[in-house]
Amino acid sequence: MTNDTTLPRVTVVVPAYNASSFIADCLQSIKDQDYENLELIVVDDGSTDDSAAIATTFEPDQLICQSNAGACAARNAGLAAATGSYVKFLDADDLMAPGAISAQVALLEGLKEREIGYGHGGRFGRGEPADEGRKIAQIFEPYLADVVARIIRTSWPLFPIEAVRDIGGYDGRLTAGQETNLHFRLALAGWRFIPQDVCTYFRRLHDEPARISNRQKSLTDITTNLENWLEPIADDDSGVMKDIRASRYVFFARWCLQRGQRTEAKALFALARQAAPHDHLRLQTKNYRLLYKVLGPMLAEKLIMTIQGVRE
C-alpha cells in the first residue's frame, strides 16, 4: 500500500473464510482507496478453498493464516498484528466505498477525546451498489440504549486502535451480534459513537452458507450467545439494562422469523417480555412498534421482509 507518514496510519483487517468467490473484489476496493498511509491485513481463517492464494496476488502488508476459529478470532488476530493508529474491519464478501478512508480520517478532526466516528453503508449483489444513506430517525435515551438500538454495522466505524485493544477486541464466544457487543462494551468503557455523513462500505447480498447471517441456529445456541453478549451487565437490574436485554431478545426473535424459525421466535419474544415486562419493545423503532401492535410479530416481519425484497 502507499505510505505517506504525515498522515495517521490506518489498518484495514479483512477476515476471510472460503471467500474465493468474493475476496478479489473486496481487496481491489481497498487497493483503490485514495488514502496514502494504509495497511492491509488479511486473515485466512482456515479456508479450504483458494482464498489465501487469491489474497496473495493483492500483496497485502500481512497475510495471516490460522486454523478455523471464527470471525471474531480472525478479526482479533488482525487487530493484534496491526500497526496503524486506526483500524477498520471489512468482511471478505463486502466492498469498501470509494474514498471512505480519506473521508473518515478527514472527519476525525471534528471529534473530541474518546469519540468514535461512524458512517453508513449500502448494499449490492442484486444490482449495482446502492448507498442507503444516513438513517438516524429516532434517538433513544439514555446513550447506552441508543448504541444498542442503533445497531452500528461492523464496517461503519473507524476505530482508534487502542480503544478496541483496551477492551480485548471481539468476544470470541459470540457467533452472532459480535459488532453490537463490541460497540456496547466500548460505550460501557466511556467511548461515544458520533454519526457522520459518509458512505463507508457496501454489503453484499448473497445466500452462501459462509455468511454467518445466513445460517439457522437452535434456540439453545441463541440463548447461550445472548447470555455471553449480556455478560457485562449480568448483575445490573436497572431499567435501561432491562430494556437492552429485551432489545437483544427481540432482535434474535426477528432474526429467527426471517429464517422461518417460528417456534424459536415465539420463545425469544416471551423472554423479551420477561426481561422488560413494562415495555419489551421500547428500543424498537416507532414503525416496528406500530406494525407489531396491529399485525402481531409474525405478520409484521413478513410485511417488512416483503418491502425489503421489493427494494432489493
pLDDT tens-place values along the chain, 312 residues long: 557 778 999 999 999 999 999 999 999 999 999 999 999 999 999 999 999 999 999 999 999 999 999 999 999 999 999 999 999 999 999 999 999 999 999 999 999 999 999 999 999 987 778 888 776 667 888 999 999 998 999 999 999 999 999 999 999 999 889 999 999 999 999 999 999 999 999 999 876 655 544 456 899 999 999 999 999 999 999 999 999 999 999 999 999 999 999 999 999 999 999 999 999 999 999 999 999 999 999 999 999 988 876 455
Dist. CA 8–CA 161, nearest whole Å? 11
pLDDT digits (tens, 9 = 90+) for 88-113: 999 999 999 999 999 999 999 999 99
pLDDT digits (tens, 9 = 90+) for 170-213: 999 998 899 999 999 999 999 999 999 999 999 998 766 555 44
What does the pLDDT read at residue 213? Answer: 47
Query: Does residue 142 have a cis bond before it (omega within 30 degrees)?
Result: yes
Q: What is the pTM of this model?
A: 0.92
At 260, phi and psi to the nearest 5? 75, 15
What does the pLDDT read at residue 221? Answer: 93
C-alpha cell at 273: 417480555
Dist. CA 283–CA 294, nearest whole Å? 18
Cβ count near 85 (within 10 Å): 17
Close Cβ partners of 183 (under 8 Å, ≥ 6 residues apart): 147, 152, 157, 193
**Stated length of the chain:** 312
Please give the single-letter amino acid code of residue 85: S
What does the pLDDT read at residue 129? Answer: 85
Do residues 226 and 249 lie in contact, with contact meaning Cβ atoms separated by under 8 Å?
A: yes
pLDDT digits (tens, 9 = 90+) for 166-181: 999 999 999 889 999 9
Domains of the chain: 10-204 (3.90.550.10), 216-311 (no CATH)
